[in-house]
Amino acid sequence: MADEQKPGGSEAAPPPGGEAAKEPGKTAVEAPKPAPPKPALPPPKPPAIMVATPWESELARELKESFGEGIGETSTYLGQNFIVAKPGSAIPILEYLKLESDFDYLVDITAVDWPKRADRFDVVYILYSFSRNERVRVKIHIPDGYQPETAVGVHLTADWLEREVMPDEWQGYPLRKDHGILQQDERWVQENLGIESGQ
Amino acid sequence: MPDSTFLDSTELVLNMGPQHPSTHGVLRVILKLDGEKVLGTECVIGYLHRGVEKIAENRTYAQFNPYVDRMDYVAAISNGLGYCLAVEKMLNVEAPPRAQAIRVILTELNRIASHLLWLGTHALDIGAITPVFYCLREREEALKIFEKYCGARLTTHAFRIGGLLYETYDGFEQDIRDFCAMFVPHVDEYEELLTNNRIWIGRLKDVGILNADECKEFGVTGPVLRAAGVKWDLRKAQPYSGYEKYDFEIPTRQNGDTYDRYIVRMQEMRQSVRIMQQAVEAIPEGPIMGKVGKVIKPPVGEAYVSIEAPKGELGYYVVSDGSTQPYRVRVRPPCFVNLQALDRMIRGGLVADVVAVIGTLDIVLGEIDR
């Protein structure tokens, strides 16, 4: 909307009301219409955040008692419970959940990249308990370069889930947000596949 | 006298795959052998990596939907169902009852198609040539129904976020009824060929045992877990898409060997028929699309939704930043996690068992590599 009002921008693509401007005779007769009142700009939206509610349960209380500072937040969103923990206490929490609360199945480990945040990555452990039929996610926020402890000691399945990566010699981290979708390690592709580019 | 050094048993490294008919795709297994005995294995995966999770971040929610079909391409409908349910969860909408019933029918039909391909190729790996022809013959009937429903046979893109795009065609119900009636005698036929077959039992019994504790430790799900005696199926444990309405059993066995996994899958096909028969008689009338806008923009947040795919728990962890494109999509593939237990299952076994165990895991490399 604001662009259409600018005189300079109308050369390439005249705005719908701009035909009159090409015929000077017409414009001289008709008084230029007053510009319609600009709609008031909506107030800037606050940055949207996940509207999670506190997770009140026996288990959340137990965990807070056992780990105190190690647990930052116990919340629930869309009926799914999650814990935000200090990076160092993730593995003890997984162990506690496994031994004391029967969360004996590590469903998945994954990570989310938030480049603008100081602690850039979320590492997410998704757990399930067969006896409770319940899921819980344990999340930690870690900065770039931080190496979280391995969870293999607690759940064997963590082995592949933690190591699911590109080939050893591959340069770059394709799932990071600052890694373009067309970007690739061209040297690796040339050396190993014998082609100019994988694209 | 032969030189004694030739009688020494030395460790032999044998490369199997990635181009090998019994690895069911481009899986490479490096075997360490002592004679016929397997000392250890190492899997090399990633030959089919397409970066699906990265692609998701560069597509809108609806645009990404067809991509998930290409992961487990023999059970594309299950993949689509999981993804649609995950996004629906974030949007806080539910597919209308009619759409749910049709989804269940198609998903179960796809489960049968997936199990049939598994049975045929597995039997072929073991040395039984006949079943694969029979299995593909019946699978063809299932694929024909998919084709009539949505025009595609394999990567169907049958579901949309919020429900379905296509109404059922005229005669859909009858096709399903006919399929069910036709199919059950055929399962008996396969079982006649295999279940009590001496060679079949000899090759599968007590091979590749994975007990219940090991299954949980490795995060193994699906028929492999149920064959080890754990009565756990997400369709019962955390029902989705109206599965709670249908009466069916969770087949389980106790030994957790290759033979038990075979039995479990055979019984699962019969259960799928039961579900389809119930669902097809009770497809509710009504709309097939829920209240989803043209532009899909889930609120900021995240959700993990999983379903019981033919191979095990298939989960989608979707993170939204409030835009039209997913911020992150993580797929929890059952095959990838199940394959991890391969080493445990065949260590100490024989070379010939490797093929049996890979077959019984029912892996699809499109899903492992993504």
Confidence check: pLDDT of A75 > 80? yes
Task: Tell me the pLDDT tens digit for each residue of A117-137.
Answer: 888 888 899 999 888 888 888
- Is pLDDT of A28 > 50? no
CATH match of A53-170 with 2.60.40.10 = no
Residues of chain B with pLDDT below 50 are none
Backbone CA torsion sign across B189, B195, B200, B203: positive
How many domains, in total, are found in chain B?
1
Helices (H) and strands (E) in chain B, counts: 15, 8
Tell whether A98 lies on the interface with B, counting CB pairs under 8 A: no
Please tell me the predicted confidence (pLDDT) of residue B185: 92
Lowest mean pLDDT, pick from A101-110, A165-174, B174-183, B207-216: A165-174
Contact B46 A167 (CB under 8 A): yes
pLDDT for position A50: 75
Gap from A178 CA to chain B (nearest CA, Å): 12
Best residue in A127, A156, A173, A189 for a mutation probing chain B (most B CBs within 10 Å): A156
Q: Tell me chain A's radius of gyration from C-alpha atoms.
A: 28
pLDDT(A29) > 60: no
pLDDT at A166: 65
Chain B CB contacts of A163 under 8 Å are: none
User: How would residue A1 be classed by pLDDT, with cut points 50, 70 and 90?
Assistant: very low
B237 to chain A, any CB pair closer than 8 A? The answer is: yes
Q: What is the rounded CA–CA span in Å between residue B177 and residue B168? A: 14
Query: Cα-atom radius of gyration of chain B, to the nearest Å?
Result: 21
Q: Is B317 on the interface with A (CB under 8 A)?
A: yes
Are B217 and A157 in contact (CB < 8 Å)?
Answer: yes
**pLDDT at A13 (0 to 100):** 42
Q: What is the pLDDT of residue B181?
A: 92
Chain A residue closest in CA terms to B90: A78
A24: pLDDT strictly greater than 50: no
In this prediction, residue B2 carries a pLDDT of 52
Alpha-carbon gap, residue B343 to B31, rounded angstroms: 10
Give every CB contact of residue A6 below 8 A, 6+ residues apart in sequence: none
Between CA B262 and CA B252 the distance in angstroms is: 11
Residue B219 is classified by DSSP as: T
Separation in Å, CA of A2 to nearest CA in chain B? 23
Instruction: Check CB contact under 8 Å for B92 and A78.
Output: yes
Give the whole-number percent of chain A exceeding pLDDT 70. 72
Whether B318 contacts B86, CB under 8 Å: yes
Residue A183 has pLDDT above 60, yes or no: yes
Where on the phi/psi map is residue B301: left (φ > 0), alpha (ψ -120 to 50), or beta? left
Whether the Cβ atoms of residue A134 and residue A80 lie closer than 8 Å to each other? no
Cα separation, B119 vs B125, in Å, equals: 10
pLDDT of residue A40: 67
Whether B46 contacts chain A with CB within 8 A: yes
Reported as a pLDDT band with limits 50, 70 and 90, residue A63 is: confident
Sign of CA dihedral B82, B88, B93, B95: negative
Close Cβ partners of A23 (under 8 Å, ≥ 6 residues apart): none
Residue B110: CATH number of its domain: 1.10.645.10
Q: Which of B299, B315, B340 sits opposite A157 (nearest CB)?
A: B340
Interface check for B53 against chain A (CB to CB < 8 A): the answer is yes
Partner-chain residue, chosen from B303, B313, B319, that has the shortest CB–CB distance to A78: B303
- Chain A neighbors of B322, CB-CB under 8 A: 48
pLDDT value of residue A6? 40
B243 at A interface, C-beta within 8 A? no
Terminal-to-terminal C-alpha distance of chain A: 39
Residue B252 · residue B268 · CB < 8 Å: no
Task: Report pLDDT for A79.
Answer: 83
Q: What is the pLDDT of residue A26?
A: 44
Residue in A104, A135, A156 closest to B304 by CB: A135
User: For residues A134 and B238, is the Cβ–Cβ distance under 8 A?
Assistant: no
Residues of B in contact with A156 (CB under 8 A): 217-218
The per-residue b/e assignment along A177-187, b for 16 or more CB within 10 angstroms, e otherwise, is eeeeeeebbee
Which residue is associated with the tokens 């799928």?
Answer: B272
Which residues in A54-72 are b (16+ Cβ under 10 Å) and which e? ebeeebbeebeeebeebbe
Bigger pLDDT: A194 vs B307:
B307
The helix-helix angle for B97-126 and B351-361 (nearest 10°) equals 170
- B232 and A130 within 8 Å at the Cβ level: the answer is yes
Give φ, ψ of A17 to 5 degrees.
Answer: -90, 5
Asked if A110 lies within 8 A of B330 by C-beta distance, the reply is: yes
Copy the structure tokens of residue A63.
């965990």
Q: Which of A106, A166, A174 sits opposite B219 (nearest CB)?
A: A106
Domain that includes residue B215, residue range? 4-369
With CA atoms as reference, report the closest residue to B318 among B143, B56, B23, B59: B56
Looking at the partner chain, which of B58, B230, B317 has a beta carbon nearest the beta carbon of A124? B317
Q: Indicate if the pLDDT at residue A165 is higher than 70.
A: no
Of residues A18 and B151, the one with the higher pLDDT is: B151
pLDDT of residue A45: 62
Within 13 Å of residue A178, how many CA atoms lie on the same side as its CB? 7
| CB-closest option in A52, A133, A155 to B217 | A155
Q: What is the mean pLDDT of chain A?
A: 74
Domain boundaries in chain A? 53-170
Statement: residue A149 has pLDDT above 50: yes
Q: Does the distance separating the beta carbons of B51 and A77 come in below 8 Å?
A: no
B312-320 and A80-85: which strand pairing? unpaired
CB pairs under 8 A between A and B: 88
Would you state the structure tokens that stand for residue B4, as one six-digit string?
Answer: 């004694």
According to the model, what pLDDT value does residue B268 have? 92
CB of B57 within 8 A of CB of A183? no
String of DSSP letters for B161-208 = TTEESSPPPTTHHHHHHHHHHHHHHHHHHHHHHHTT-HHHHHHHTTSS
Specify the length of chain B in residues: 370
Mark yes or no for CB contact B336/A164 under 8 Å. Answer: yes
pLDDT at residue B25, rounded to an integer = 77
Smallest CA–CA separation between B4 and chain A, in Å?
41
Tell me the residue length of chain A.
Answer: 199
